[in-house]
Chain A
Amino acid sequence: MRRFLVLLLVLSFVAIPLGGVVAQDEKVLVVGLSEDYSRLDPGRAYEPGGSLVYHSVYDTLVTFPSDSTAEILPNLASEWSISDDGLVYTFTLRDDVTFSNGDPLTAEDVVFSINRMKNLKDNPSFLADTIASVEAVDDLTVALTLTAPDPAILAKLVFDAFSIVNAEEVQAQGGTDAEDAAETDTAEAWFNGNSAGTGPYVLESYEPGVQTILARNEAYWGDAPYFDRIIIQNLPETATQKLSLEAGDIDIAMDVIADQLPSFESNPDITVFSTQSDTLIFLLFNQDPEVGGPMSDPQVQKAVRYALNYAELAFLSGEGANTPAAMVPIGFAGALDPSEGVAQDVDMAKQILSDAGYADGFDVDLEYPDFNYIGTDFNVVAQKVQADLAAVGINVTLVPQEFQTSLDLYRTGAQGFSLWLWNPDYQDTLDYVEFLPGGVVGLRANWTDENADQEILDLRDQVKVETDDAARIDLFTQIQHYEQESAPFAPLFQPGVHFAYRSDLQGFAYNGQWRVDLTQLSY
């Protein structure tokens, strides 16, 4: 009898249906995300997951359409003009915008926000490198002066770090836009529990590692969003996200991986959205013979590009994956058509190696971080590369490294032959000059102004300041053809990116900058 009672007690705990504590008539959206951010100060915005929050809570001067990054649209700035020398951008602000606390938006807020982000000297500050100064011309006019023409400046302004905050409110919380903001600004802790933006939602609470809750901004200047609340729940394991979505506890799973897709297909309650990501997975060869050994030989680099089976690499990555022709990912203006890519040609690769004096092949280490990124398991990719190179006589030893150790070696240019990824910092092809000599990634391959050809240096210098669209595309085309022939990189693939959501959810759209605009969703 006693045992029976205990059993009954246990059952009653698990079986009694639970009354919700948040009011039942509220419309709540629950998003499952593997949380990659640990703070929510827009001046320090960097991680892609944070965009879900920043984009819902803050606005930027200009923006993209919800489903593409191909055109720049007005947002807080209703219009703008560019001086003939391309150095001064003058923005006219909307006059009907208020912050969540009711304050009207003024030019001073824009000046404060941009200067603060620049002077915090945190992760996103490099985006303001080409900004010489920003000034309020009058209450609703802002002038942005550049140090040199920057064809990507408008695309950069869409990034979360250029979110416009309420200057007065942030200053009251210890924020500052002064030159020494990196040392004196103390608003970060406040931003982790509050927001000071003009977006459709306000940050209600943020519990790191658990959940981020957004509530409707009652003072929002645009059309009110459908949901009263958005809960972004941290579900670090993709398998758990999938289960929670299937059970209906979350409405969107942000971290679906390609190999999970087949099992979603049979479920009519769930819709999958797949597209190719902006992430570029590539091989790096060090140009410094001391570090790279045989891999520093441009002929060997070329042979490797011919040795790889790109179709199988893309298949390995799963649905939605594609192979870019060179180091500019598909989807960016000026990217070569994938059909122009290097096709696998094992005989050609062997021929080039033999002409370069490596007829008998050689041994080399492939270093890479041992981790998973959006379903791409670096260990698996590395093993495929190993197998492809073995077929042309290059004997690869895999050297997986702990992520931070590997990152350290990579950033200091100490890896001879390695496997890495690159995500765009902003949605403009100009970001990919970093793969050229002297660029951030170029330097990691020890590709410098000193050891590079004049041809590629000239192309690089021209494309950095060219603002005419047709001329830019022509320059990028030449650059990519050059990369196919002679560059210390081999593009492997762009993995697919996948989202799954409850089928009755409306308004889902994807864009490379903020991924999903939560404010546009409804049931």
Chain B
Amino acid sequence: MTPRLNIIRRRARQNPLMVAGILICIAWIFVSIFAKYVAPYDPLEQSIMERLMGPSSAHLFGTDQLGRDVLSRVLYGGRISLPAGLLVVTSAMIIGTIFGAITGYVGGMADELLMRFTEIFMAFPIIILAMAIAAALGPSVRNAVIAMIVVWWPNYARIVRSLVIQVKSNQYVESAQAIGASPLRILFITILPNCVAPALVMATLDIGNAILIFAGLSFLGVGPEPSAAEWGRMVSDGIDHYDQWWLSAFPGIAIFTAVMALNFIGDGLRDLADPRTRKAVG
């Protein structure tokens, strides 16, 4: 066995959860790409007379209100939900991190302005903002994603700002300043890596929420096509149908596994990025 494989193996043993996360993610990516071959039925094929049947050998996850196979819809569902959730959260995290880091580091008026600015955004119920954005830009999936990023980024700006403020008073930052490193270098090389962990943790947790809210926007005509197999929509259809638990339970579990996997990976990345932590706590 080559030394490199050995390292990977050792790392994997040190962090089995990250490995599990990666495996689950690969599984979902595989299933999403090859849904056509994995799914037992066409996810759009209706069979009205077999609607709302519980799980059985013919339909392992039961059937929905139009008699479609829930298992097939869950398998296809990741195609829309996962990219949408990831896109919203990563974009919001990047935008929020940039603004939060700069203003947190610079402080003073810029900081004050950004914080008050985020408050204006956060004051709006998401539905009102989304309606307005859909009205201004026209309804489409792309605009739904934009609307969500607009609502989402202030969260990251605020959390990153608070981390930067905390970290910048550390000794190693002061020593970097003392040796005359440029502010950009200090911010992005010295400070930010120490702030990424909580933002990353929050982002990986947020994916599930983003998927659910994204589905909630579909009534504005900005979400995916109504017949499309999509986890968030499938889950929200279950509110009126809790007797038919399988409608929302299986897509809900799918969201859970995705959030869990991404979270494990996020934790693992954080450990890899910061060998100090590993050494200290082991």
Q: Which residues of A contact B (CB under 8 A)?
A: 237-239, 257, 259-260, 262-263, 309, 312, 315-316, 370-372, 375, 377, 379-380, 382-384, 386-387, 397-403, 405
> Using Cβ atoms and an 8 Å threshold, which residues of chain B touch A262?
243
State the majority secondary structure of interface residues on A.
Answer: helix
Residues 55-80 (chain B) with a chain A CB within 8 angstroms? 65-66
* A398:B225 contact, CB within 8 angstroms: yes
* Shortest Cβ gap from B238 to chain A (Å): 10
Can you list, as one digit per residue, whether each of B233-276 has a CB less than 8 Å from chain A (1) or not (0)? Answer: 00001011111100000000000000000000000000000000
A377 to B52, CA, bound (A): 14
* A370:B219 contact, CB within 8 angstroms: yes
> Using Cβ atoms and an 8 Å threshold, which residues of chain B touch A402?
131, 219-221
Residues of B in contact (CB 8 Å), total 22
Q: Which single residue of chain B is at the shortest CB-CB distance from A368?
A: B226
Within 8 Å of chain A (Cβ to Cβ): is B155? Answer: no
Q: Which single residue of chain A is at the shortest CB-CB distance from B217?
A: A402
Selected contact of B226 from candidates A263, A400, A405, CB within 8 Å: A400
* A316:B66 contact, CB within 8 angstroms: yes
Within 8 Å of chain A (Cβ to Cβ): is B168? Answer: no
Q: A370-B221, A402-B131, A402-B221 are in contact. Are A383 and B227 (CB under 8 A)?
A: yes
Of B30-38, B43-51, B159-167, B175-183, the segment with at least 4 beta carbons within 8 Å of chain A is: B43-51
Within 8 Å of chain A (Cβ to Cβ): is B218? Answer: yes
> Using Cβ atoms and an 8 Å threshold, which residues of chain B touch A375?
240
* A238:B240 contact, CB within 8 angstroms: yes
Instruction: Provide 24 A-B residue pairs closer than 8 Å at the C-beta atoms, listed in order of the A residue.
Output: A238-B240, A239-B240, A257-B240, A259-B52, A259-B241, A316-B65, A375-B240, A380-B65, A380-B66, A382-B226, A383-B66, A384-B46, A386-B227, A397-B225, A398-B225, A398-B226, A398-B227, A400-B219, A400-B221, A400-B226, A402-B131, A402-B219, A403-B219, A405-B221
Q: A400-B226, A402-B219 are in contact. Are A239 and B48 (CB under 8 A)?
A: no
* B48:A312 contact, CB within 8 angstroms: yes
* B48:A384 contact, CB within 8 angstroms: yes
A401 to B221, CA, bound (A): 5
> Using Cβ atoms and an 8 Å threshold, which residues of chain B touch A377?
65, 237, 240
A384 to B46, CA, bound (A): 8
> Using Cβ atoms and an 8 Å threshold, which residues of chain A touch B240?
238-239, 257, 259-260, 372, 375, 377
> Using Cβ atoms and an 8 Å threshold, which residues of chain A touch B226?
370, 379, 382-383, 398, 400
* A263:B243 contact, CB within 8 angstroms: yes
The 5 lowest CB-CB distance pairs between A and B, nearest first, are A370-B219, A312-B48, A263-B243, A383-B227, A379-B226
> Using Cβ atoms and an 8 Å threshold, which residues of chain A touch B241?
259
Which of A375, A397, A405 is the most central at the interface, judged by chain B CB atoms within 10 Å of its CB? Answer: A405
> Using Cβ atoms and an 8 Å threshold, which residues of chain A touch B237?
377
* Shortest Cβ gap from B267 to chain A (Å): 30
* Shortest Cβ gap from B125 to chain A (Å): 14
A413 to B55, CA, bound (A): 44
* B243:A259 contact, CB within 8 angstroms: yes
Residues 88-139 (chain B) with a chain A CB within 8 angstroms? 131
* B221:A237 contact, CB within 8 angstroms: no
* Shortest Cβ gap from B185 to chain A (Å): 48
A263 to B240, CA, bound (A): 13
> Using Cβ atoms and an 8 Å threshold, which residues of chain B touch A315?
48-49, 51
> Using Cβ atoms and an 8 Å threshold, which residues of chain B touch A403?
219
* Shortest Cβ gap from B277 to chain A (Å): 32
* A259:B218 contact, CB within 8 angstroms: no
Q: A257-B240, A259-B243 are in contact. Are A400 and B218 (CB under 8 A)?
A: yes
Q: Which single residue of chain B is at the shortest CB-CB distance from A370?
A: B219
Q: Which single residue of chain A is at the shortest CB-CB distance from B47?
A: A312
* Shortest Cβ gap from A15 to chain B (Å): 26
* Shortest Cβ gap from B176 to chain A (Å): 46
A384 to B226, CA, bound (A): 11
A372 to B66, CA, bound (A): 15
A513 to B243, CA, bound (A): 31
* Shortest Cβ gap from B47 to chain A (Å): 10
Residues 130-172 (chain B) with a chain A CB within 8 angstroms? 131
A370 to B218, CA, bound (A): 8
A84 to B243, CA, bound (A): 58
A254 to B242, CA, bound (A): 18
Q: Which single residue of chain B is at the shortest CB-CB distance from A259?
A: B241
* A316:B48 contact, CB within 8 angstroms: yes
> Using Cβ atoms and an 8 Å threshold, which residues of chain B touch A372?
240
A449 to B48, CA, bound (A): 40
* A237:B239 contact, CB within 8 angstroms: yes
A400 to B244, CA, bound (A): 25
A216 to B169, CA, bound (A): 71
* Shortest Cβ gap from A413 to chain B (Å): 19
A386 to B239, CA, bound (A): 24
* Shortest Cβ gap from A296 to chain B (Å): 23
